[in-house]
Amino acid sequence: MTMAGQTINDRLLAARHSLAGQGLAKSVCKATTEECIGPKKKHLDYLVHCTNEPNVSIPHLANLLIERSQNANWVVVYKSLITTHHLMAYGNERFMQYLASSNSTFNLSSFLDKGTVQDGGMGIPGGRMGYDMSPFIRRYAKYLNEKSLSYRAMAFDFCKVKRGKEEGSLRNMNAEKLLKTLPVLQAQLDGLLEFDCQSNDLTNGVINMSFMLLFRDLIRLFACYNDGIINLLEKYFDMNKKHARDALDLYKKFLVRMDRVGEFLKVAENVGIDKGDIPDLTKAPSSLLDALEQHLATLEGRKVSAANTPTQSSSSAFGTAAASSKFDTSNGIDEQLKAQVLAEEEAAMNQYKSKVSSPTSSGAAGASAALTNPFLSSPPASQAGQPIVDLFGAASAQPAAAAAGAPQAHATKASDDLLQLGNPFADMFEASGNSGGNAATAAGATGHAGDGSAAEYAGTGSPFDWGATDDDGRAAQ
């Protein structure tokens, strides 16, 4: 039996807290009722306000939410996780600091609700079984734990740090710290992507609201991740052998996560989130990865495959020798021809090494290295007007110099392909917010730079508009 949408149990528990003078506990109870809808705006607003009040005990608030997450009803558990996530995003930082510094985590790895259809007594068509929703609760709890661990390790929230070329935290981080920071960011992003829902799973207000909060975090996490990778690539050619090996491994992992992020964004598009709010992720050319691997091979003293070296061409001595029937291993190799080819290969490799081994050297060798390294802090004059690295933009985007009518030197190099890429996150987070709160439009973007705003997802015609709130916890109108 229900009263005004709430169950008798909800009403009795709220009344009990009122009689005991436990206002905070009553508010937590109201936000985590058994109704199969997301926590109501007024209750979330009040709890966000409580995190900013000096006389409110943050440990008490956090423990109340953790206690509610131990309920047997999946709706109550899920809503307690959503409320916690909301306070992490929009509440006072004291709340996140407490979760990160304490041992208070959501121990829901074995949660399973075997109850019947839970539709809050409202007869909602397609109400989900608690058994079906349990995996999403377990994954969601794991992500929130990972979010707290990231804050514990870094002392800041990746979703709230400044982004962009000028003031971005990861964009301006030194190489050694960056190599330690990116794995932490990767772990949090992995926890989010493991939520792994499809559009046909988003059939009730509870999971819909959690998806919107995860979508908000994903956009900010990947924008921060993107800044870190750009910084990593800029510093790659100046790293020692160990750091370069770690950096290459991080870049390869980034490419894998880029595919998984794309799959998550497809789900967001399928459920009605405006395309203008979803960045277009265009991959960097494969020639970039080849160049990074060749540079590491040079540092390690390994021979690079002749087919991948910049000196290889169809008219080279290698191509001629390879085409010769005398080089057929099934018939044996002519020793004289073998010695000739090896000598030519050694000479070509020495020439290649001289180009990449000293990227900051002066004179002719330095100029040659500058042309093969798109990540030097001082680009060659022929590329002075171009951005150093703008990953993942539309493939049709042109360098600044080309747009201004400047000649495009070395148009066939892999570095030039890289320089023509754009960054869909730059406008999304650097422009000031107006025009109805959309995160990005065809002409640019209107989000805040690193303030954690979710208002950009409101007003987009999405079925999840009711779940969007601004930085102060107020729902977007």
Domain boundaries, the chain: 1-125
Distances (CA, A) of 335 to 166, 316, 324: 58, 20, 13
Q: What is the pLDDT of residue 372?
A: 47
pLDDT at residue 239 is higher than 60: yes
Residue with tokens 């390994």: 302
Contacts of 417 (CB under 8 A, 6+ apart): 284, 285, 287, 288
Is pLDDT larger for residue 257 or for residue 320?
A: 257
Question: How remote is the C-alpha of 105 from its chain's centroid?
Answer: 23
**Cα(414)–Cα(426) distance, integer angstroms:** 23
**Cα(444)–Cα(427) distance, integer angstroms:** 6
What DSSP string describes 115-159?
-SB--TTS--TTPPBHHHHHHHHHHHHHHHHHHHHHHHHHSS-TT
Q: What is the pLDDT of residue 280?
A: 82
Question: Cβ-count burial of 29 within 10 angstroms (0-12 exposed, 13-18 middle, 19+ buried)?
Answer: buried
Taking residues 83-103, report their average pLDDT. 93
pLDDT, tens digit, for every residue of 147-192?
999 999 999 999 999 988 888 899 999 999 999 999 999 999 999 9
Is pLDDT larger for residue 445 or for residue 70?
A: 70
Structure tokens at 388: 């150093």
pLDDT, tens digit, for every residue of 370-393?
444 544 444 444 444 444 444 444
Q: What is the pLDDT of residue 34?
A: 87
pTM reported for the whole predicted model: 0.64
Q: What is the pLDDT of residue 352?
A: 53
- CATH number for 1-125 (one of 1.25.40.90, 3.30.565.10, 1.25.40.10, 3.20.20.70): it is 1.25.40.90
Distances (CA, A) of 78 to 53, 205, 329, 365, 409: 26, 11, 65, 61, 57
Taking residues 353-363, report their average pLDDT. 48
Q: What is the pLDDT of residue 404?
A: 42
Highest mean pLDDT, choosing among 183-197, 393-407, 454-468:
183-197
Question: Cβ-count burial of 178 within 10 angstroms (0-12 exposed, 13-18 middle, 19+ buried)?
Answer: buried
pLDDT at residue 245 is higher than 80: yes
Is pLDDT larger for residue 458 or for residue 66?
A: 66
pLDDT at residue 257 is higher than 90: yes
pLDDT band at 416 (very low <50, low <70, confident <90, very high): very low
Q: What SS3 class is residue 466?
A: helix
Instruction: Please list the helix, strand and coil fractions of the chain in percent, rounded to the nearest 5, in that order.
Output: 55, 5, 40
Question: How remote is the C-alpha of 339 from its chain's centroid?
Answer: 51
Dihedral of the CA atoms 324, 330, 332, 334 (nearest 10)? 10
Q: What is the pLDDT of residue 286?
A: 80
Q: What is the pLDDT of residue 277?
A: 87
pLDDT, tens digit, for every residue of 106-154?
889 899 887 654 444 444 433 446 888 999 999 999 999 999 999 999 9
Q: What is the pLDDT of residue 334?
A: 53
Q: What SS3 class is residue 245?
A: helix
Helix or strand holding residue 229 (H, E): helix 205-236
Q: What is the pLDDT of residue 7?
A: 72
Helix or strand holding residue 7 (H, E): strand 6-7
Q: What is the pLDDT of residue 113?
A: 86
At position 186, the amino acid (one-letter code) is Q
pLDDT at residue 298 is higher than 60: yes
Q: Mean pLDDT in the chain?
A: 72
**Cα(216)–Cα(31) distance, integer angstroms:** 21
User: Going by DSSP bridges, is the β-strand pair 6-7/2-3 parallel, antiparallel, or unpaired?
Assistant: antiparallel
Q: What is the pLDDT of residue 106?
A: 87
Highest mean pLDDT, choosing among 19-23, 222-226, 389-393:
222-226
Taking residues 198-219, report their average pLDDT. 94
Question: To the nearest whole percent, how much of the chain has pLDDT over 90?
Answer: 44
- Per the DSSP assignment, residues forming a β-bridge with 440 are 445
Angle between helices 241-270 and 286-300 (to 10 degrees): 160
pLDDT band at 344 (very low <50, low <70, confident <90, very high): low
Q: What is the pLDDT of residue 428?
A: 55
Taking residues 8-26, report their average pLDDT. 66
Residue with tokens 């131990």: 70
Residue with tokens 């290459």: 248
